[in-house]
Structure 1
Amino acid sequence: MATAMVTLPDNFDDHIMALEGIKLMLNNGFKESGDLFKKYKSSSPLMSAGSSFSTFLNGMMSFEDEKLNLAVNELKATQKLCTPTDDTLSSIKLKITKKSSHKPQVPPWIILQNKIIIADCHLYLAMISFIQQEITGYIKGGWTLRKAWKIYEKTYDHIESLHKIAYEEKHADKSSRNNVNLKLREQALSIPYDILERLRGSVCFGYGLFNLCVSLIPQKLLRVVNMIGFHGDRQIGLTALTSASNSKDMKAPLAMLALLWYHTVVRPFFAIDGDKPDCGIPAAEAIMAEHEQFYAQSSLVLFFKGRIQRCKRNIAGALISFENSYNASEEQREIQLMCAYEIGWCCLMELNWNKALTYFSMLRRESKWSTCYYTYLTALTCGLAGNKIECLELFAEVPKTMKRKTNQLEIYIVRKASMMVKTPMTYEYLLIFILELLYLWSAFPNCTIESLDNMVEECSKASSVNIQGLKNLILGGIYKSLGKTEVSLNHFRTATTVSEKDYEDGHIAPYACYEMATVLMENPDTKAQGLELFKHAKDGYEGYDFENRLQMRIHATEHRLKEH
C-alpha cells in the first residue's frame, strides 16, 4: 500500500533527518529509524532512499526471498520518485521556491542528488540479482550494474570538477580561473559549498563501493565486465569510501561499515593478503577508534569487532563480541541470524561440535536462506556430536530442501549429503567433510594454533582410500597456516596425485595446485616453478566446485604479485 505524501515543513532539512535516521538504525533503533523514513519517504527522495536502503539491508542480511522482493519494490519506488519527470517532485520544487508565482526550477544540487540516489538503487538491485547465483541473475545484474556505473562515472567526474572550482574559490586560488569553463564555474558557485561537500561524499560512497567490488572480480569474468563498459580499481574504491565515511552525507556511516566489511570479511575470505588474515586489522581498528564513540553499543559495530578478533585468531574474544551483538539486536532478527552463523563457525574452528550444533540447528529452523546448507551443517555437527541416527535422517533430508537447481553451493551440498547416505556412517568422513568446509571458507588462518594442532591429529587418522585426496588438501592447508611450508607442499602434491580416486571432487586438484604455487612463489629459488603452477591452476581446470571462488583468489594473488 502506498504511503501518503506528507507536506514537508519549511525548516525540514531532509539530509540531516536522513543522516540521523541511518545513525539511529546503526544504534539499534531499527523500528524508530524505519518509522522515521516511512513517514516522509513519499515526499523526500533522501528519506525514500533511507527507507529503501533499510529494506535492502534487511534482505541482504537474511537472504530471504520475501524481504529481497520487498527491497526490489522499494528501490524501484525510490528511483521513480527521483526521476525528473515525476510529478511527485513538485512538492520539493515548490518548497525550494517558497511557492513563488514563477515556474519552479529544480536547483542543480537536487538534480545531482537524485542522480546519485538512482545510481545507488541500480547498484543495490544488481547486488540482489547477483546473490541468486543463477545465470539469468548474473546477466540481469550485469546490465543493471552498467546503468549504475554510467551514472556514477559521469556524476563523480562532474561533482569533482565542481568541487575543485569551489575549493579554489573558497581558498582564494585565482590562478586556474582562465582555464575553467564559465558555465561549469557558474554552476559550482551557485551551489553552497557545504552542499557540494555532502554531494561529493554521497557520490563517493557508490563510486567507491562499485570500484572496490569490481576490482575483486576474477580475470575470466572481468573480460565480460569490461565489454559492457566498466572497470574497477581497488585503491580508488578505498579512497572514495574513506572520503564518504568522513562526510556529512547520510551514507557516511554506511561507508564506515563498508570499509569494515572489506578489511575484516573480504580480505581474509578472498585471500587478498595471502594467508595473513590480520593484514586488514590496523585499518579496521583505526576506523573503530574513530567512530566507536558514536556507536559503542551498535549491534553491527559489535559484529565487526567480533570479525576483528577472529582475524587476530582470538576466537574467545570473537565469541564474546558476536554474543554481545546478538543480545544487542533483539529487535533485528537478521543481525541475530548473522551472529548465530558466526558463533557456529567459531565453534567449528574450535572443534566444539555440541555448541556448533545448537546454532546451526537454530539457523536451520529460523533462517529462510538455504535450508539446504544449514541442514547439511546440522547433519555434520549432529554426527560429530554422537547422534548418528538423526545425522543420517538429516542427510537424507538435504536433497528435499534444495531450492535452486542451478545454485552451485546447493549442488555441492546435495552431492555430499547423498554420498553420506550411501556410505557407512563413520567419524572420519564427518570430520573430513566439516574440515573441508573450513578450508574452502578460508577459516584455517583464523584458527588458534592449538585448534590447528588438534585438527592435524584428528585428520591424520582418516584412513579410507576414497578421501585421501581431500584429507591431504586439508592437511596441506592446516600446515600452511601453521607456517610449516615444506610439510604442506608434500600434502598438496599428494592431493593432486590421488584426487582422481575421490568421489567426483574435481576441486581438489586445482585448489592444491594453487596452494602449491603460492608457497613456491614465496621462495626466489622456486618462484619460476610456482608461476608455472599458478598459470596451470588458473587456466588448466574448469567445471569444478567453487571455481569462481578459486578464480577470485587467483585474481587477488595476481594483484598482489603486481604490487611487489
Structure 2
Amino acid sequence: MAFVGNGTPELEADEDIFEDALETISGPFRTEMAASKPQLASLDTKQASGQQRSSKVSRSPATKMDLKYGLEECEVALKLFLNNKFKDALELLQPWAKENMYHALGYSTIVVLQAIMTFEQQDIQNGISAMRDALQTCQKYRKKNTVVESFSSLISRGSLEQMTEEEMHAEICYAECLLQKAALTFVQDENMINFIKGGLKIRTSYNIYKECLSILHILQKNKVEQQFFHEFEGGVKLGIGAFNLMLSLLPARIIRLLEFIGFSGNRELGLQQLHEGASGRSIRSPLCCLTLLSFHTYISLILGTGEVNVVEAESLLAPFLQQFPNGSLMLFYHARIELLKGNVEEAQEVFRKCISVQEEWKQFHHLCYWELMWINIFLQNWMKAYYYSDLLFKESKWSKATAAYLKAAILSMLPEEELEETKENVVTLFRQVESLKQRIAGKSIPTEKFAVRKSRRYSASLPAPVKLVLPALEMMYIWNGFPTISKREDLSENLLLTVEKAEATLQNQNCSDYLMDDECLLKLLKGCCLKNLHRPLQAELCFNHVIQSEKLLKFDHYLVPFTLFELAYLYKTQGEMDKAFKTLETARNNYKDYSMESRLHFRIQAALQLWKKPSSH
C-alpha cells in the first residue's frame, strides 16, 4: 500500500490526471468497462452457450424470483449478451428488473452500456434512470442499518450473524450500481456538481467493497456455510481487485491526495484478487478475466510503458473464445492480442469479423473502426486509414474533436494527387477541431486540448497555415503506438524512412516560428524508430538533440519530458537502471503545464512500478 504524504497537492495542476484516466477508460474503448459490467456467467454453467430462453419459457407463474433464480437468469442473460443477443438479454431481465437485485443490475448495465456507446443525451438519461431504479431495487434487499451507513469500521461476529446472505449480495450489487451511476454522472453534462457527486458515489462504492471484504474474512475464518458463498466471494474479489488495480495506475501525487480521503491502491493485491476471482466458479469469474484482459491488452499500453503480458492475455482469453467464438467482445480482444504480437494482418481480419458478426449495436463497430484506422496508420496505408477515420468522424460521438483532428492528420500524409481524390479540405477540417471539443465536469479532454493546440497552426487569423509535420505519426506516438509496431522490423524501417524524408523536406523549407519544434518532433519520432530497430546509440543521439534544444522550443514543450521518458526506457533496456530512474525523476519533477502531462505521469508511474523502483514522496 502507498502511504499518506505530507502537504496539500495543487488541485488545479492535478485535474487533468482524473480527466485523462476517465478519457482513456471511457474513450474509444468505453465498452471495455461498460460491457464487462453485466454479471458474467461462469464458464462451467449448466446451460449450453447457445441456449436461449425467454422469460415466458424460463418461469412458471409460481416462480419465486429469489437470489437463486436471479443468479440463474443473469447467467442466461449474460450468455445471450456475449453471443451478441443484446435485445434478448434485455427482454429476459426487464420484467423482473424492479423486483430482483441481479435482474436490476444486469438490465441497467446493458442500458448504461448502450448509453455510453451512443453518447446520445437521451440514452444517457435513460441509463441514469435505469440505474436509479436498480439502486432502489438493491436498496430493498440491503440491511437497513448497514455497517457502512453507521460509519463503523469494525464488524463483529454478532453483527455478521444479523446479516442474511441476501443482504450481503445486496451490498455487492449496490456497490456495482453506484460505480456505473458515477460513470454516467461524469458525462451527463458540464456541471462540476455532477463531477463531485460522481466522486462521492465512487467513494461510497469503495467503502462498501472494503466492508464486504471484512465480512468475507469473517466468513472464511469462522467457516460459515452459505449456499452462494462463492458468488459473494467472486463479487468481493472483483471489486477489491479492480479498485486496487485502477488506483495503482495513478501518479504518486494523486495517490497521496486519494489516501487522504480514504482510498489506497496496491497493484499486486489487485492482480492477485482478480486472478483468484478469475479462477473461481462465480458468475463474476469471467468478469475478473475481462478486467485483466483490459489491463494487459489496452491499459498497460495507453497508460503504461507498452510492456504487455501477451502470454497471460492469451491464456485468459482462450476459454472465452472457445465458448463464444463469434462474440463481439471476445473477437475484439482476440484481435487486440494478435496486434500486440505483431500479427497486424491477422488482427485486421479478426476486427473485420468482429464487425460482421452482429448488426444489432452498430456502435460496437466503432471500436473496430478505431483499431483498423491505427493498423493502417502502422502500415502507412493512408487511404484506408482515412476511410476508417472518416467513418468515425461521421458516425461516432465519443470525441468529435479528436476524430476531426485524426482525419485531417491522416489526410495530411497523402500525396497531393490522392488528397484531391478525396475532395476533402484539410485546412477546413483543422479549423473545425476547436469548435467540436467536449467538456467533462467543465474541463476539456486532454487529447482534445492537444488537438486544438496543434490545429491552431491552421487558424484563419494567420496569413497562411504552417503545415504540421507528420501529424498522424505524432498522434500515433501520443497513443503509444511505437511499442506495438516494435514486433515488426519492417514497419519500423518504413516509418524511419518516412521520418527521414520529412527531415530532408524540412531542411529545404523557409524558416518559420515552428521550425525548431518540428525538428525536435522528427528527432523524437526517429529516436523511437531507431529504438525499435535496436540501434540504441543512434536513438540516444536523437533523444539528446531534443533535450538539448529545450530552450529553443516555442510551442511543443511536451517534447522534452516525453523524450526524457523514452531515454529512460532506452537506459533500462541497456541495463543502466540508475540512469533510467534518475531520468524518470527528472521528467516527473522538473516539468509541468505541458500537453498530455497527465498521460506521461501515468507512464512514469507504470515504469516505476514495473521496474521495481519505489515511488518517492
Provide TM-score, normalisation by structure 1: 0.84
2:61 maps to 1:29: no
Q: Work out which of the residue numbers 426, 432, 439 in structure 2 matches 1:397.
A: 432
Aligned-residue RMSD, C-alpha: 2.8
Could you give the per-residue CA deviations for residues 101-129 of structure 1, whole angstroms, max 9, x where no partner exists?
xxxx9971110111111111222233445
- One-letter amino acid of the structure 2 residue matched with residue 470 of structure 1: L
* 1:9 is the counterpart of 2:63: yes
**1:512-523 to 2 correspondences below 5 Å:** 512-523=563-574
Corresponding residue for residue 419 of structure 1: 457
Match of residue 494 from structure 1: 545
The alpha-carbon distance between structure 1 residues 76 and 35, as it changes in their structure 2 partners (threshold 3 A), is same
C-alpha deviations, 1:394-452, integer Å up to 9, x for none?
A: 112222212336322222111212213458668xx555211111111111111232121
Query: Counterpart in 2 of 1:547?
Result: 597
Residues 252-277 of structure 1 deviation map (CA, whole Å, 9 limit, x = unaligned)? 33222212111111122233xx4534
* 1:450 maps to which of 466, 472, 490: 490
Shift of 1:86: 8.6
Give the counterpart letter for 2:364 in structure 1. Answer: I
Q: Which residue of 2 aligns with 1:47?
A: 103
C-alpha spacing 1:499/1:360, structure 2 compared with 1 (3 Å): farther
CA shift, 1:248, in A, is 4.4
Q: CA–CA distance in 1 between the matches of 2:324 and 2:358?
A: 13
Matched, 1:234 2:261: no
The reply on whether 1:224 has 2:257 as its aligned counterpart is yes
Structure 1 residues 63 and 459: CA distance shift in structure 2, 3 A: farther
Alpha-carbon distance in 2 for matches of 1:481, 1:127? 37
Equivalent-residue separation in structure 2 for 1:338 and 1:132 (angstroms): 22
User: In the TM superposition, what are the counterparts of 1:467-478 in structure 2 within 5 Å?
Assistant: 467-478=518-529
- What does residue 200 of structure 1 align with? 233
Gaps of 5+ in 2: 1-58, 145-160, 507-514
**8 A Cα contact 1:303 1:339, kept in partner:** yes
Q: How does 1:17-416 map to 2 (within 5 A)?
A: 17-84=73-140, 108-128=164-184, 136=192, 139-166=196-223, 188-189=224-225, 191-192=226-227, 195-271=228-304, 274-277=305-308, 280-385=309-414, 386-387=418-419, 390-404=425-439, 406-416=444-454
Aligned mates of 1:378, 1:516 — CA distance in 2: 30
Asked if the contact 1:468/1:498 (under 8 Å) is kept, the reply is no
Identity of aligned residues (%): 25
Cα distance in 1, alignment partners of residues 298 and 409 from structure 2: 25
Alpha-carbon separation, structure 2, partners of 1:61 and 1:446:
26
State the Cα distance separating 1:138 from its structure 2 match: 5.7
**How far apart are the structure 2 equivalents of 1:116 and 1:87?**
12
Distance 2:62 2:540 in 1: 67
TM-score by structure 2 length?
A: 0.77
Does residue 508 in structure 1 map to residue 554 in structure 2?
A: no
Give the counterpart letter for 1:110 in structure 2: E
1:563–1:545 Cα change, 3 Å: closer
Question: Match for residue 436 of structure 1?
Answer: 474
Contact 2:437 2:444 in 1 (8 A): no
Change (3 A) 1:383 1:462: closer
* CA distance in 2 between partners of 1:126 and 1:8 (Å): 37
> Is the CA contact 2:242–2:291 (under 8 Å) kept in the aligned structure 1?
yes
Matched residue, 1:561: 611
Contact 1:61-1:338 at 8 Å conserved across structures: no
Post-superposition CA distance 1:121-168 (Å, at most 9, x none): 2222334456789894664443322111110011022123213433xx
What secondary structure, in the 3-state scheme, does the structure 1 residue paired with 2:390 have?
helix
Return the alpha-carbon distance in structure 2 between the equivalents of residues 269 and 362 of structure 1: 23
- Give 1:244 shift: 2.9
Structure showing the higher helix proportion among its residues: 1
CA distance 1:373–1:470, shift in 2 (3 Å): same
Letter in 2 for 1:144: K
Q: Relative to structure 2, which stretch is displaced further, 404-413 or 353-362?
A: 404-413
The 3 A distance-change label for structure 1 pair 285 and 151 is same
Q: State the distance in 2 between where 1:423 and 1:501 align.
A: 23
Determine if contact 1:268/1:442 at 8 Å carries over to the other structure: yes
In structure 1, stretches of 5+ residues that fail to align are 1-5, 89-104, 167-187
User: Could you tell me how far apart the structure 1 residues matched to 2:370 and 2:141 are?
Assistant: 45
Q: Which amino acid aligns with 1:328?
A: V
Report how many residues are paired. Answer: 512
- Please say if residues 65 and 100 of structure 2, whose CA atoms lie closer than 8 Å, have aligned partners that are also in contact: no
The 1-side partners of 2:87 and 2:498 are apart by 47
Partner of 1:536: 586
Counterparts of 1:544 and 1:162 in 2: how far apart (Å)? 50
**1:528 Cα deviation (Å)?**
3.4
Is the Cα–Cα contact under 8 Å of residues 62 and 337 in structure 1 kept in the other structure? no
**548-557 or 78-87, which moves further after superposition?**
78-87
Letter of the structure 2 residue corresponding to residue 34 of structure 1: L
Cα pair distance change 1:77/1:331, threshold 3 Å:
same
Shift of 1:296: 1.1
Alpha-carbon distance in 2 for matches of 1:45, 1:485: 57
Q: 1:134 to 1:563 in 2, by over 3 A?
A: farther
Q: Write the distance in 2 (CA, Å) between the matches of 1:116 and 1:363.
A: 37
User: Matched residues in 2 for 1:244 and 1:420: separation?
Assistant: 52
Paired AA for residue 391 in structure 1: V
Deviations, residues 66-98 of structure 1 (Å, cap 9, x unaligned): 43443333222211111148999xxxxxxxxxx
